């Protein structure tokens, strides 16, 4: 059974750096074709893809946010960490992590999702 859970601060101040952790179980991030991605959703708005890290440590970032994002993994802890610098109120959103299944092509397939964590950016 695959599960993912996001954790991190619920409130950050403008200009601060947000660090979120995705802790997962039921799969290994060292298995070929597997990845973990981050997706966010501002309140009442659409999903926005942020980043993905593959089993081989290859990384993909949203072009529009690439300068602010860093994604890393700790395979031994079954964790993926996303950092986003220079937070702004427009970054207020629910942040989800998702399991990229090995049977899917590209960075496209998020078969399992965490419950999400709401991050509010406010002074």
Partner 1 sequence: QTVVTQEPSLTVSPGGTVTLTCASSTGAVTSTYYANWFQQKPGQAPRALIYSTYNKHSWTPARFSGSLLGGKAALTLSGAQPEDEAEYYCLLYYGTVVFGGGTKLTVL
Give the whole-angstrom CA distance, residue 94 versus residue 47.
Answer: 9
Shortest distance, CB of residue 64 to partner 1, whole angstroms? 7
Residues numbered 76-105 forming contacts with partner 1, rule: CB under 8 A: 96, 101, 104-105
| 118: Cβ contacts below 8 Å, ≥ 6 apart | 10, 93, 94, 95
Stretch that binds partner 1, among 19-27, 67-75, 78-86, 111-119 (CB under 8 A): 111-119
Using the rule CB under 8 A, is 65 a contact of partner 1?
no
Structure-block tokens of residue 26: 């039921």
Pairing between strand 18-25 and 3-7?
antiparallel
Residues at the site binding partner 1, with contacts judged by CB under 8 A: 37, 39, 46-49, 52, 60-64, 96, 101, 104-116
């Amino acid at each position: 059974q695959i599960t993912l859970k996001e954790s991190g601060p619920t409130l950050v101040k403008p200009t601060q750096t947000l660090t979120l952790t995705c802790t997962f179980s039921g799969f290994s991030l060292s298995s070929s074709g597997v990845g973990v991605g981050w997706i966010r959703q501002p309140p009442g708005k659409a999903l926005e893809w942020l980043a993905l890290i593959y089993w081989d440590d290859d990384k993909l970032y949203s072009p529009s946010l690439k300068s602010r994002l860093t994604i890393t993994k700790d395979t031994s802890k079954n964790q993926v960490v996303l950092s986003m610098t220079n937070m702004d109120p427009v970054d207020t959103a629910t942040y989800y992590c998702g399991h990229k299944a090995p049977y899917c092509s590209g960075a496209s397939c998020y078969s399992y999702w965490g419950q999400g964590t709401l991050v509010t950016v406010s002074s």
